[in-house]
Amino acid sequence: MDQYIVRLKDRSKRKLFLDLLKQLDFIEDVKELKGSAKTKSITEFIGALNEVKRHEAGEIKLRKAKDFLNEL
């Protein structure tokens, strides 16, 4: 079973999107994650992955772990 996280650009389309998903016979379950710690963690993780992609593309430079730990 595959799972997906979808971010809606337009919150007003939320009900339409959920109704469409529920009508698809191959969708097993639809759950909405709101403001939970799990949602925040997933969002932060996705942001970190995006930073790594930008670093690999040469768009940004990341700090070394050693430098970060020395600041502590």
Which pLDDT band, with edges at 50, 70 and 90, does 68 fall under?
confident
Say if CB 45 and CB 53 are below 8 A apart: no
- H or E element that contains 46: helix 37-56
Nearest to 29 by CA among 14, 40, 18, 42: 18
What is the reported pLDDT for 1?
67
* Tokens found for residue 36: 């939970």
Say if CB 60 and CB 51 are below 8 A apart: yes
In this predicted model, what pLDDT tens digit does every residue of 5-56 receive, in sequence order? Answer: 788 889 899 899 999 998 999 988 887 777 677 777 888 888 899 999 999 9
Q: Is the pTM of this model over 0.75?
A: no
